[in-house]
Amino acid sequence: MRLWRNLLALGRMAWAAVATLAATPAGASMFSGEALDAAADVLAIVVLILVPLVGIAVFWIVHVLPEKIAHKRHHPQRDAIQTLCLLSLVFGGLLWPIAWLWAYTRPVTYKMAYGTDRHEDYYEEMGARLGSGGLTATDIAHLREDLAAMEARGALSPKLRALKTALDDAAPGAGPATGGPA
């Protein structure tokens, strides 16, 4: 047992001797003289100018994401979500989680009040697709139901009224034979 302890101690001393002999002198920088000053100037410019600009850009992009999501999902309250995103920028991002959650929620109470859970632009896009023949019979039936529900709750805007008359003029079986998701 004592032999093993002595061998371990001898191995540690040999390892320490090798590490001491292999060590190189420490240097504060790989640059010296004018190169060190130039590197410090470049680093200062990057830290003082470039990093804040990139930080502001990333902060802006992240705070506009809920607005983009609401636009993509045809959220009927996307203008309010956009306003909340802008207010979040003013208040340092405190309102941003609320805007994020709002953009992902289904506007159930909005649908109960107005008969739809989509922004009016959605119906305008569908009207353009109807004109180009890109809607299926199922899509046309869903549009008719949505517009009828909206009309029952209140007056339609002139654009939606024009879409409703265009849908009424379209044949019931218009569009491709295959049904698609609404």
- Per-residue model confidence (pLDDT) at position 143: 85
CA distances for 148 relative to 18, 106, 118, 136, 160, angstroms: 87, 20, 14, 18, 11
* pLDDT on residue 175: 45
Domain boundaries, the chain: 40-105, 120-169
Q: For the chain, how big is the Rg over CA atoms in Å?
A: 33
Residues of the chain with pLDDT under 50: 173-182
Closest CA to 63 of 105, 26, 91: 91
CA–CA dist 166, 106 (Å, integer): 28
Note every long-range contact of 77-84, with CB atoms under 8 Å and residues 24 or more positions apart, other chains counting: 77/102, 77/107, 77/110, 78/103, 78/119
